[in-house]
Amino acid sequence: MERGARRALIVAVARDVIAHADELNRLDQAIGDGDHGTNVRRGFEAVLAEVDDLAGMSESGALAAAGMLLLNNVGGASGPLYGTLALSMARNLPGTTGISGWIEAFGLAIEDVKRRGKSEPGQKTLLDVLVPVHTSLVAGDDAAVARLASVAENAAEATRSMLAVRGRAAFLGQRSVGHVDPGARSASLIFGAIGRVLVEEFDGK
C-alpha cells in the first residue's frame, strides 16, 4: 500500500470513530459507564495528530505506533483491548506477505484480544465483530473486501440480542439484552472504514 493510501486509511478510520463518539457514549450509557465514545475519540484524535508520521512508517511500525497511542490515550478496558489488537498485528505481520499475511496476523491478534479480555465470541464484546470479519476475510473470495463494512455492521447489530458476560454490562445481567454493545459498534466503525477505503483503493487500480 502506498503512503497516500496508508494515510487515507488512518484518516478514514479515525474520523469515523470520532464522528460517532456521541452515539458510542449513548450505547455505553445504556449498559456501561457511558464513556466509550469519549475514550475512543481521545485515542483516535491522538492517532490523527500523528498521521503524517504514521503514514511514513512501515505497516508493522505504523500499527505498533498506533497501538501505543491507543493504549496511552483510550483508557478503560477498550484501551488495552484495541492496543493489544494493533500491537499483536504489528508483531505478527513481519514475515508474512500480501493480503493473506494481513489476515493471518489479524487472526493471531484476535487470539491475543481473547486472552487479554478473558472472553470468547458470543459474550457481547468487540470480539463479536472481530471474529465474523476475520471469518469473512478468510473465505477469501473476490467479494470479501467489498462486504467488509456490511459484515462488520451486521455483526455489531447482532450483539443486541446477546447477554453480556464481560465488562460493566455484565453487572446488568438480563437487562444488557436489547442493546448493541458499544465496543462491538466501535469495532464495526473501524472495519467499516477500512472496508470502504480498500474498495476505493482497489477500484482505482
Partner 1 sequence: MASKPNVGVVIVSHSSKVAEGTADMVRQMVGDAVPLAAVGGNPDGGLGTHMTLVLAALQKAWSEAGVVILVDLGGAETNSEMAIEMMAPERRDRIVICNAPLVEGAVMAATESSGGSPLEVVRHAAEELMAGR
Contacts to partner 1 by CB under 8 A:
33, 35, 38-39, 42, 71-73, 75-77, 79-81, 83-84, 116-117, 166-168
**Which of 88, 90, 100, 194 is CA-nearest to residue 147?**
194
Nearer to partner 1, 149 or 162 (CB): 162
Nearer to partner 1, 70 or 148 (CB): 70
Nearer to partner 1, 7 or 168 (CB): 168
Query: Angle at Cα 172 formed by Cα 166 and Cα 178, nearest 5°?
Result: 90
Q: Which three cell numbers stand for residue 120?
A: 470468547
Distance between CA 178 and CA 42 in Å, rounded?
Answer: 27
Query: Angle at Cα 67 formed by Cα 140 and Cα 202, nearest 5°?
Result: 35
Q: How far is the CB of 75 from partner 1 (least distance, A)?
A: 4
Q: How far is the CB of 135 from partner 1 (least distance, A)?
A: 25
Q: What one-character-per-residue DSSP string does 103-114 give? A: HHHHHHHHHHHH
Q: How far is the CB of 69 from partner 1 (least distance, A)?
A: 11
Q: How far is the CB of 81 from partner 1 (least distance, A)?
A: 7
